[in-house]
Amino acid sequence: MARKDTAPAADAPKKQGRLKQFAQVYKLTAQYDKPAPLWVFGSALLVLAVGLALTFLLTDGVFSRILGVVTTLMAALLVGLAILTRRADRALFAQVDGRQGSTAIVMQQLRRGWTTSEEPVAADPRSGDLVFRAVGKPGIVLLVEGPLPRALRLGENEKKRHSRVASGVPVHLLYVGNGPDQTPLRKVSRRMMRLPRSLTGAEVSAVVKRMQALGGLRAPVPKGIDPFRARADRKAMRGR
């Protein structure tokens, strides 16, 4: 009997906590993305209006209409949450864009199949330019933070260093930033996912082991740069 009494009480805080997280996500998103509420609620209301109209036009039975209303409500909720998640990602990138070490956010966002370095694997102690690394089926991807053309030298040096350790493995260079010939932070993940696949899963594991031989930074992170300070509360932004 005791278990039956305590089970609902245990579920209630979880539901309240999740609702609180979604509310926090919404507030943070609206703070950095003013049109977000219009997109979220407008899209949900549009789905709701179309779904209800189709339900009452195309069905005549009570059960069919109830099922249609419930399905429409769920669809509207899912569309609203999907758009909120997308806008939350954009708000997150807007919050950290331009900060040194912000590429760590992209490292956290990458899907399965990638082994990433959330800490920089190389840094220029004079300029503060940073290099992050991801290993996946496209090969090795080096993400270089810093304005061009200054960061070119650091990127090319790291490409040569990685090519020597992983001979024959493709090494891709992506320069992260908002200038010409650079990839904006919010588009880095998408561009990486579009790179051509050239390694198998077993080969990726072998390359990851080779990368361990390179160790961490060859030089200490420049004074005043802390990549982890660039991280926003991603779980809060995504409602987790």
Shared domain for 48 and 137, answered yes or no, is no
What's the whole-number mean pLDDT along residues 125-145?
91
> Residue 75, Cβ neighbours under 10 Å: how many?
15
Share of the chain above pLDDT 70, in %: 77
* Domain shared by 175 and 66, yes or no: no
Count up the domains in the chain and report the number: 2
With b for 16 or more beta-carbon neighbours within 10 A and e for fewer, the 24-45 pattern comes to ebbebbbebbeebeebbeebbe
pTM, entire model: 0.63
Q: Phi and psi at residue 16, in whole multiples of 5°?
A: -65, -40
Q: Which of 35, 188, 161, 179 is nearest to 106 (CA)?
A: 188
Report the distance separating Cα 198 and Cα 217, nearest Å: 27
Q: 47 in a domain, yes or no?
A: yes
Residue 43 maps to a domain: yes
Q: Are residues 26 and 110 in the same domain?
A: no
Residues 107 and 221 grouped into a single domain = yes
* Domain stop point among 96, 127, 145: 96
- Give per-residue burial for 82-99: e unless 16+ CB within 10 Å, then b: ebbeebbbebbbebbbeb
- Cβ atoms 135, 149 nearer than 8 A: no
64-111, pLDDT tens digit by residue?
A: 889 989 999 999 999 988 888 878 777 777 666 667 778 887 787 777
Looking at the structure, do residues 112 and 201 belong to the same domain, yes or no?
yes
Where does a domain end: 68, 96, 124? Answer: 96
* Closest-CA residue to 44 (of 77, 10, 85): 77
- Same domain as 107, residue 87: no
Does residue 239 sit within a domain? no
Query: Is 126 a member of any domain?
Result: yes
Same domain, 68 and 142: no
**42, 25 in Cβ contact below 8 A?**
no
Last residue of a domain, one of 56, 75, 96: 96
Cα separation, 56 vs 36, in Å, equals 30
- 237 falls within a domain: no
Average pLDDT over residues 160-173: 91
Lowest mean pLDDT among 63-72, 92-101, 126-135, 227-236: 227-236
Cα–Cα distances in angstroms (integers) from residue 173 to residues 97, 157, 230, in the given order = 19, 11, 22
Max CA pair span of the chain: 73
Lowest mean pLDDT among 20-29, 118-127, 228-237: 228-237
- State how far the Cα of 183 lies from the Cα of 181, in Å rounded to an integer: 7
Quote the domain boundaries for residue 55: 2-96
Give the per-residue pLDDT at 181.
87
Burial of residue 125 (CB within 10 Å: 0-12, 13-18, 19+) is middle
Task: Specify whether 79 is located in the same domain as 112.
Answer: no
Instruction: Tell me: pLDDT of 176 over 60.
Output: yes
CA–CA distance, 105 with 189 (Å, rounded to integer): 10
**3-state SS class at 225:** coil
Question: Within this chain, do residues 75 and 126 fall inside the same structural domain, yes or no?
Answer: no
